[in-house]
Amino acid sequence: MEYQYPIDLDWSNEEMMQVVSFFNVIEAYYESSTEGEQLLKRYKQFKQIVPGKAEEKQIFNEFEKSSGYSSYHAVKAVQKSPDQKYFSAKSK
């Protein structure tokens, strides 16, 4: 699937890489598998770059529009059981 990541050009290269890394884990959550703790670690890094809820929601919505993957739902599911490994239906 080809789509663009929601990136702010004001971010440094390192910040852009951390945001892309977060979205890569979201993709793994839906496409294959991921460790809950890994997703939460990447989300914490993402929140250091995007601390505001409004901006987070906007970025999540942009990503969901282009990819079909809900970052919000993935993060919420993992926050309930962070020690779990998550497998998508596609990977089974």
Average of pLDDT values for 12-31? 97
Domain ranges of the chain: 15-81
Q: Which CATH class is domain 15-81?
A: mainly alpha
* CA distance linking residue 30 with residue 72, whole number of Å: 12
CB atoms within 10 A of CB 27: 18
- Residue 90's pLDDT is what? 72
The sign of the torsion formed by the CA atoms of 72, 77, 79, 80 equals positive
Residue-level pLDDT at 91: 61
**pTM (2 decimals)?**
0.92
Determine the average pLDDT of the residues in 28-47.
96
